[in-house]
Amino acid sequence: MMRLTVAQALVRFLASQWTEFDGVRRRTFAGCLGIFGHGNVAGIGQALLESGDALRYVLVRNEQAMVHTAAAYARMTDRMSTFACTTSIGPGATNMVTGAALATINRLPVLLLPGDIFASRVANPVLQELEDARSYDVSVNDAFRPVSTYFDRINRPEQLVPAALAAMRVLTDPAETGAVTLALPQDVQAEAYDFPDEFLAERSWRIRRPAPEPDVLASAAELIRGARRPLLVAGGGLIYSRATDVLWEFVEATGIPVAETQAGKGALRYDHPASVGAIGATGTAAANALAAEADVVIGIGTRWTDFTTASRSLFAADGVRFVNLNVTAFDAYKNAGVALVADARAGLTALTEALAGWHVDRRYADRAHELARAWQRTVDSAYAVRTERSAQGVPQSHVIGVVNDVAGPRDVVVCAAGSMPGDLHKLWRTRDPKGYHVEYGYSCMGYEIAGGLGVKLAAPDREVFVLVGDGSYLMMAQELATAVQEGVKIIVVLVENGGFGSIGALSESVGNGRFGTQYRARNPRTGQLDGEPLMIDLAANAASLGADVLRASDADELRSALHKAVGSGRTTVVHIRTDPLVPAPSSQAWWDVPVAEVSALEPTRSARRAYEDAKRQQHPYL
């Protein structure tokens, strides 16, 4: 037994946890990210101080951002390791809710330790307490319940032991993982208790690899063998399972073409003969052409989001069938598919063996390869595009091309929101399974810089290129200061297009004429936000946060600035203006965004007619 405060015991416990994956061990928690307030400074704060280097503490600037950093770190380590995140009660805690949702939606392990109100209630109501007349047991931290995969409130010291073990079980389970929240009343954090030595001892948690059931595997193999136009869709679970080498063997043996979701991009090198690139609403013409006629679709580690299925309009062949290999049963049973509930690597290995001697028709494989080659020619053109609107800024596709060219094979591109993720999905040429890091499960504005920090902390030997638009930058740029503080170098390409370019284009497509999406002053004549463009110097803002700043006005200057940034040892922001009215090549796919059914505006009425036509192409996939 050891007499410790609850916070001291928790910090010691976290420092003693290890994750094991295929015989490789690493610490489950790389450290603790946090901001202190009255709800955690005397508890977790004191415990971290007393622990020394046992659990590294990193001071961050924004509570939501710290969760993004932890999630990005977890993704980069294939969910083997993450950070704990601690905040005070009240706004510090609720600021983490958005990050929690992102982690859970993307199936990424993060541990959240928000301070909470007094369990003893003797000082109620304390500062920042939400008083609920129905129950004294309700606090703002209950907002974490729907966005956490495990939630507990430690109201007595002895409750820490089962709660902490349950938290670790969920964090290291690939089928359940996500945000785990342990709410810590501020008085309980400081209370002492005799904790068992076994609780504080070093402990390893093995990430499991469940195998597919033999009879289901046989059914899946039979279905694939009977296919004439099969297509494999690689999702993020395939990469987390470290199954990219098995995917290569599967493709070499069967010749089945491979398309990739946002999270699965990089599962196969872009130049592999069977790679047809991104799929869905932000996909390539090659992948989407094959998807439209596929008779069997093999989804591995994908959640089948609306972007992947083009809002259920993409897989259009009569009687199309799905084989879903996923460690999470909830996802495996989607689209009424043959559900292979198993680890991606174990399942794909078994599927390769079950299909031994079978290969798709050579003419189909050749057609897939030719479609992919045609798309690469499209990418070449997009990278080299020059337009008459160049005075308004560099085309975004050309910015992507320059960054892609400067980046090395193992370097990482990070993005999350706006039009950039869609353009990256279809245009970025990925050469490494970890070279593409776009958060598109939640597509959270503000993720980019905080996420880039997490990626770099997890992979210090790789250059990290963060692509962020002015909209996302203005929401959350503070972690530039954290990167400077920690001596962690990231390269931020700050793309300024004068507003919310992605939503502007979407607004126009639904007949709203880019209303409310541009950074313009209020026009006293019209009363609308259609006045002069705002004169905001975001590059100067980045410099004020401690980053080195380089400005580029054209593609050549961008290339030169990026090379300089690569050669530097400091966090560098490269600023460039782009033209939001120059689109990337079309994916030839649809996304379901409802349009007003009645309107006095002709553009809206026209958009509604197009919407109703597109709705007729949706399928139930039953």
Tell me how far apart the 2 most distant CA atoms of the chain are, in Å: 77
Instruction: Please provide the CATH number assigned to the domain covering 214-375.
Output: 3.40.50.1220
Q: What is the dihedral of CA 304, 308, 310, 313, to 10 degrees?
A: -50
pLDDT of residue 386: 60
Query: Going by CATH, does the domain composed of 2-206 fall within 3.40.50.970?
Result: yes
Which residues make beta-bridge pairs with 112? Answer: 85, 181
Residue type at 457 in one-letter notation: L
With CA atoms as reference, report the closest residue to 117 among 191, 180, 59, 39: 39
With CA atoms as reference, report the closest residue to 219 among 329, 323, 327: 323
With CA atoms as reference, report the closest residue to 278 among 256, 252, 259: 259
Mark out the alpha helices in 355-488 (DSSP H runs). Answer: 362-383, 396-406, 420-427, 447-458, 470-475, 479-486
3-state secondary structure of 278: strand
pLDDT of residue 500: 77
Whether the Cβ atoms of residue 12 and residue 4 lie closer than 8 Å to each other: yes
Instruction: Please provide the CATH number assigned to the domain covering 387-498+534-577.
Output: 3.40.50.970
Taking the C-alpha atoms of residue 19 and residue 24, their distance in angstroms, rounded to an integer, is 8
Contacts of 416 (CB under 8 A, 6+ apart): 438, 439, 440, 443, 444, 445, 446, 447, 448, 451, 472
What are the CA-CA distances from residue 300 to residues 29, 185, 264 (Å)? 28, 42, 9
Are domains 214-375 and 387-498+534-577 of this chain identical in fold? yes
Q: What is the CA radius of gyration of the chain?
A: 25
Whether the Cβ atoms of residue 257 and residue 298 lie closer than 8 Å to each other: no
How do 296-300 and 436-438 pair as beta strands?
Answer: unpaired
3-state secondary structure of 275: strand
With CA atoms as reference, report the closest residue to 536 among 516, 518, 553: 518
Residues of the chain with pLDDT below 50 are: 387-389
Whether the Cβ atoms of residue 190 and residue 40 lie closer than 8 Å to each other: no
pLDDT of residue 390: 54
CB atoms within 10 A of CB 374: 13
Domain positions in the chain are 2-206, 214-375, 387-498+534-577
The helix-helix angle for 420-427 and 362-383 (nearest 10°) equals 130
3-state secondary structure of 524: coil
With CA atoms as reference, report the closest residue to 588 among 282, 268, 316: 282
**Tokens 């050579």 belong to which residue?**
362
pLDDT of residue 391: 57
pLDDT of residue 385: 64
